[in-house]
Structure 1
Amino acid sequence: MKRLLPVLLAVLVLAGCTSNGNPGPTPPASTHTLTQTSTRTPPLVVKFRAPAPATVRPLPPGAKAHTGETDRRCPYIKTGLNQDENTGVNLADIEGDRVYRTTVLAAYKPVGCRFYFIGPPYEATADIRPYTFATATEAYNAMVVVARSGTNPIPEREFVKGATGVAYRTKFFGQDGARDWAFVFAKGKHMVIIHTQRKDTSRNAVYLGQAIAAKF
C-alpha cells in the first residue's frame, strides 16, 4: 500500500489542476498528412517459353540417331568411359554412369550434346542444351523461367565465379517420372540446361555445370 501512495498522489495533483471548473484554453486542432511508400517487385517479362518437361527416348546400339541428333563427341566435355579414356574431367565420372554413345543436338545455338547409357534400355544419361540471347538479362530471365517449369528449385549462387544457377527436378528418364535432377545456369548471353537421369541427388547436375561453364 505504501508503494501505491506516490502514484495516487501524482494522479490527485494532476486532477486538482483541472477540477476547479476552468478547464483552460482548448488546444488548436492540428492536421497531419501521412505518406506511405511501397515497393513492388516488377513482374518477370520474358519472351522465352521453357520447353515442356519430357522424357528422352532410348537409343540402342545399331539404331539410327534420333532426328536432330548426329553421332559426334561433345565440344564442351569429354565423354569418359566407354568412349574416351577415363582421365581428366569427363561426363561419365561426374554423372556417375558409363556412356556408349554421344550425339550432338543441332537444334541448339550453340549445339547441344546427349549421352546414352552403356546398358539396356540404353537411355539418355545426361544432356546439355545451350541457348543464346540478345542480352545477358534475357538469358538470366530465361534461366528463371526454366527453373520455374520444374519442382524443388535449389539456387546455386556463385556455382562458378560470377554466375548463378538453379537445380530443379523435371522429366528426363521415363521410369523416373518427374524426379530427375537438372541444372540451369546463365552466363553472359548464354543460358544452359543440363539434364541428368539422377533422381537421388542434384549435385551431379551442378558439377556438370561447373565443368562446362567456362565454355560459354
Structure 2
Amino acid sequence: MIVAAAVSLVGCTASRSAPRDPTPSTRTVTGTRTLTQPPSGASFTPAPAATVAPLPGGGKAPKGEKFAHCPYIRAGLNEDRSGSGANIADIEGDRVGRTTVLTGYRPVGCRFYFAYSYGNTRHEAVADILPTTFPTAAAAHNALVRTAQAGRPGSQQSAPRFAPGADGVSYQTKFFGPDGNRDWAFAFAKGTVLVVVHTQQNDSEINARNIGTAIAGKF
C-alpha cells in the first residue's frame, strides 16, 4: 500500500504561468536543517513554513549556502547560458542570477535567486530543491504525506507515479513573502529520499511539478 494515498487529492490541469512582475516586499529568513541521523517517517515533523530572504548584499552567500551549480538541474538564463535541456529559468518562469547549494541537506539542496534587483528589494529566491534521506522507502513516503498535510488546507493534489519509481503531491505553502501561504510546492518520494521543490508561483502548481519531473531521475 502506498502511504501517500492518505492525502486528500483533487485533480487539476493548468498551463505554465508567465514570469511575474515582482513587487518590493519584506521577507524573513528561512533556516536550513542539518540532519545528523536519518529521521523515521513516523517521527518526522516538517520544518515550519517560512518565507525565504533575498540574496544578501556584499556578495556573500546566506548562512548554510555556498555559491555553486546545482547537481540536479541547470539554472538557465541569466547564470547558465550554455547547454540544452531542462533548466529552472524556463520551467519556473523567472531568470536566475545566482545559484547556491544548501549544505545542511543530505543529499545537498539547491536554491535559485532572481537575476535582478528592483526598488529596495535585492535578488529574491525564485525556487529551491530540498532533499532529505530516510532509512527506508516507507519512511520517506510517510514524510511525504506529513509534508503535504502541513501545506495550505485543501491545496493538496496527488501525482502518483508521476515519474518512474516516484510518487508526488502538489500543495501550497509559504515561499515568496507577499504571497502568504499560496506559493506552489511539489514534494515527491523516490526510494529512501523525500524531495521538496518550492517556487514563488502562486497561480499554478505546474511549475513546481515540472521541476520535480525534470529532477526525479537524479534521485
- Scaled by the length of structure 2, the TM-score of the pair is 0.76
1:29-86 deviation per Cα after TM superposition (whole angstroms, max 9, x unaligned)? xxxxxxxxxxxxx9xx711101100000001564411100001110000000001126
Hey, what does 2:145 align to over in structure 1?
144
State the SS of the aligned residue for 2:61: coil
Hey, what does 1:28 align to over in structure 2?
none
Aligned residues: 173
Superposed counterparts of 1:96-111, under 5 Å = 96-111=93-108
Q: Contact 2:56–2:62 at 8 Å: present in 1 too?
A: no
Hey, what does 1:10 align to over in structure 2?
none
Specify every segment of 5 or more residues in structure 1 that has no aligned partner in the other structure, as ranges. Answer: 1-41
Task: Letter of the 2:144 partner, please give it.
Answer: M
State the SS of the aligned residue for 1:76: coil
Alpha-carbon RMSD across the aligned residues, in angstroms, is 1.4
State the SS of the aligned residue for 2:44: coil
Residue 57 of structure 1 is aligned with which of 50, 53, 74?
53
Residue 181 of structure 1 is aligned with which of 167, 180, 184?
184
Task: Letter of the 2:163 partner, please give it.
Answer: V
Task: Letter of the 1:52 partner, please give it.
Answer: P
Superposed counterparts of 1:184-203, under 5 Å = 184-203=187-206
Q: Contact 2:165–2:191 at 8 Å: present in 1 too?
A: no
Task: Letter of the 2:80 partner, please give it.
Answer: D
Specify every segment of 5 or more residues in structure 2 that has no aligned partner in the other structure, as ranges. Answer: 1-5, 7-40
Task: Letter of the 1:46 partner, please give it.
Answer: A
Hey, what does 1:154 align to over in structure 2?
157
Hey, what does 1:212 align to over in structure 2?
215
State the SS of the aligned residue for 2:127: strand
Task: Letter of the 2:133 partner, please give it.
Answer: T
State the SS of the aligned residue for 1:75: coil
Structure 1 runs, 4 residues or longer, greater than 4 Å off: none
Residue 84 of structure 1 is aligned with which of 76, 80, 105?
80
Hey, what does 2:17 align to over in structure 1?
none
Alpha carbons of 1:61 and 1:97: their partners in 2 closer, same or farther (altered >3 Å)?
farther
Q: Which has the higher contact order (CA 8 A, sep 6+)?
A: 2
Q: Whose helix fraction is larger, Structure 1's or Structure 2's?
A: 1
- Scaled by the length of structure 1, the TM-score of the pair is 0.77
| Larger Rg computed on CA atoms | 1
Q: Structure 1: how far apart are the matches of 2:57 and 2:47? A: 28
Hey, what does 1:66 align to over in structure 2?
62
